[in-house]
């Protein structure tokens, strides 16, 4: 098995950034989901609430610098060291560093809403049992190309007379960090520990999927019920629709596209109620 795709998401729910290599830190890939947009009450805003976030490009042109682009509007800012702002993610409250009024004004110009950009400057800002960034639940997500092929076969089979509803779903809908080729379809659900290149990971649980998977990542438009309908019919665990696996780093190191992926331990699936989404 080989690692064939690597992506980071500098701002939670913004467009992905493909990379050829990335350093893995205890709280996930360097630069991945260390920034987030919140509303006036400090509540996380994702593509679930505003699909337009996925059309904003966030890049890291140099250490300590974030650049945002949307419709010709560009904002370049350094990591802030200002006041802490109370925020919440899925009801859990904590504090992050406010990126300031200039960033808020840029978001208002682009999205027409009163929003703030906040930064997680260190992992302990978010008080979870698992050390992580601002990803929904765990530091990384891995998906399998063979599993996507199998899912798309199920989608096509469920819509034999409708080429639109039965169209294949691209991997970008699932917002993974790592894509693996060479495994059998759904084999990843039995992995419990893997090594990718020089880094080992605990495979924590399956990833529960949400309405974000029905959004076209290029336009933000909803494309109908798939893949949620197919997952509900064929890949439902308890009340959760699952695709991909959450990872937690066991150590640190550098991942590179082309790295070998080795399964070190296998085991039964986690309990369905533990499944978490990803954004």
**Residue 238, pLDDT above cutoff 60:** yes
Question: Rounded distance, CA 277 to CA 256, Å?
Answer: 25
Three-state DSSP state, 16: coil
Could you report the per-residue pLDDT of 17-42, keeping only the tens digit for each?
999 999 999 999 999 999 999 999 99
Return the pLDDT at 21: 98
How large is the average pLDDT for residues 187-200? 97
Three-state DSSP state, 135: coil
How large is the average pLDDT for residues 114-143? 96
Could you tell me which residues come within 8 angstroms of residue 194 by beta carbon, excluding any fewer than 6 positions away? 142, 200, 201, 203, 247, 261, 262, 263, 264
Confidence band for 275, pLDDT divided at 50, 70 and 90? low
Question: Rounded distance, CA 44 to CA 42, Å?
Answer: 7
Could you report the per-residue pLDDT of 145-184, keeping only the tens digit for each?
999 999 999 999 999 999 999 999 999 999 999 999 999 9
Which letter does DSSP use for residue 276 in this model? Answer: B
Return the pLDDT at 257: 98
Could you tell me which residues come within 8 angstroms of residue 16 by beta carbon, excluding any fewer than 6 positions away? 7, 8, 9, 172, 175, 217
Give the containing element (helix H, strand E) for 237: strand 236-237
Q: Is 267 exposed, middle or buried (0-12, 13-18, 19+ CB in 10 A)?
A: exposed
Which residues are paired to 256 by β-bridges? 21
Return the pLDDT at 219: 87
pTM here is 0.94
Return the pLDDT at 239: 85
**Residue 273, pLDDT above cutoff 90:** no
**Residue 248, pLDDT above cutoff 70:** yes
Three-state DSSP state, 232: helix
Average pLDDT, the chain: 94
Quick one: CA torsion of 224, 45, 93, 250, rounded to 10 degrees? 70
Phi and psi torsions of 217, nearest 5°: -65, -20
């Amino acid at each position: 098995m080989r690692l064939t795709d690597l992506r980071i998401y500098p701002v939670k729910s913004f467009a992905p950034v493909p990379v050829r290599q990335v350093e893995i830190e205890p709280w996930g890939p360097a630069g991945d989901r260390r920034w987030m947009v919140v509303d006036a009450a400090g509540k996380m805003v994702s593509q679930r609430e505003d699909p337009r976030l996925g059309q904003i490009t966030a890049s890291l042109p140099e250490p300590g610098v974030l650049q945002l682009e949307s419709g010709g509007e560009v904002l370049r800012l350094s990591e802030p060291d200002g006041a802490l702002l109370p925020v919440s993610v899925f009801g859990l409250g904590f504090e992050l560093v406010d990126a300031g009024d200039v960033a808020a004004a840029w978001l208002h110009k682009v999205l027409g809403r009163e929003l703030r950009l906040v930064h997680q400057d260190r992992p302990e800002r978010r008080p979870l049992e698992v050390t992580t960034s601002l990803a929904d639940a765990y530091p990384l997500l891995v998906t399998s190309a063979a599993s996507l092929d199998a899912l798309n076969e199920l989608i096509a089979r469920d819509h034999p007379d409708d080429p639109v509803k039965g169209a294949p779903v691209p991997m970008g809908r699932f917002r993974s960090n790592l894509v693996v080729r060479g495994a059998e379809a759904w084999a990843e659900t039995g992995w419990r520990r893997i090594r990718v290149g020089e880094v080992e990971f605990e495979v924590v649980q399956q990833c529960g999927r949400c309405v974000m998977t029905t959004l076209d990542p290029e336009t933000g438009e909803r494309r109908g019920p798939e893949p949620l309908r197919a997952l509900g019919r064929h890949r439902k665990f308890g009340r959760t629709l699952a695709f991909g696996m959450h990872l937690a780093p066991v150590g640190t190191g550098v991942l590179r596209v082309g790295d070998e992926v080795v399964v070190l331990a296998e085991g039964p699936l986690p309990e369905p109620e533990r499944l978490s989404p990803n954004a």
